[in-house]
Amino acid sequence: MSRSPRRTAGTTLLVLAKTPRAGRVKTRLTPAYSPQQAADLASAALADTLDAVAAARARRRVLVLDGPPQGWRRPGFGLVEQQGAGLDERLAHAFSLGVGPTLLIGMDTPQVTAALLEVDWTGVDAWFGPASDGGFWALGFAAAPDPRLLLGVPMSTDETGARQRDRLVASGLRVADLPQLRDVDTAADVAAVAGLVPGSRFAACAAALTPVPVPALSR
């Protein structure tokens, strides 16, 4: 089922993120970008994401962070430390923080807008936002989900999104789809996503950085 999201102020918005520190975030951007450049891009992407969440009408906004706050406390946002070993466990913990209908996004889609986050829950049990790499950029539930809907789903594969959505459908939930967005995982993603949001912090950061030359393979 596909719907166009409609404005509502009743949603809890969660942002699952890592503190942008060199060597800990966006490691797939290296060697095209240095670890510090990758962290700078992650920082810009997170800032843009939080701006979109702040602009969206919501019941509550929470940053669920892996790592020290380091200046990421924002007015109007709760701040909670991530818990769990794997990403599936961290997702399950994050959803336990929701109050009423809850939509969770990551920090890898700085092109997200407030309008995309203002979803309509009428006749919908779950919202799903597919990512072009096979994962997902958004996931939401009208009521607190059974952790078994999330635990055990293989993460960081090109089938993660399909497996997660299939589990929702198999459980009998009425699933609505958000538009597919492109995650920033590779150097090609940086250029493509920056082009979608030319006035963003992310685009400005990308324009200011010079990728590290990748040595040619010897033959």
- 96-142 pLDDT, tens digit per residue, is 998 899 999 999 999 999 999 999 999 999 999 999 999 999 999 99
Contact in structure between 183 and 138 (CB atoms under 8 Å): no
Question: In the chain, what are the domains?
Answer: 12-207 (3.90.550.10)
Compute the distance between CA of residue 38 and CA of residue 120 in angstroms, rounded to an integer: 35
Compute the distance between CA of residue 116 and CA of residue 52 in angstroms, rounded to an integer: 9
The pTM assigned to this predicted structure is 0.91
For residue 212, pLDDT beyond 90: no
- 147-203 pLDDT, tens digit per residue, is 999 999 999 899 999 999 999 999 999 999 999 999 999 999 999 999 999 999 999
Compute the distance between CA of residue 62 and CA of residue 160 in angstroms, rounded to an integer: 24
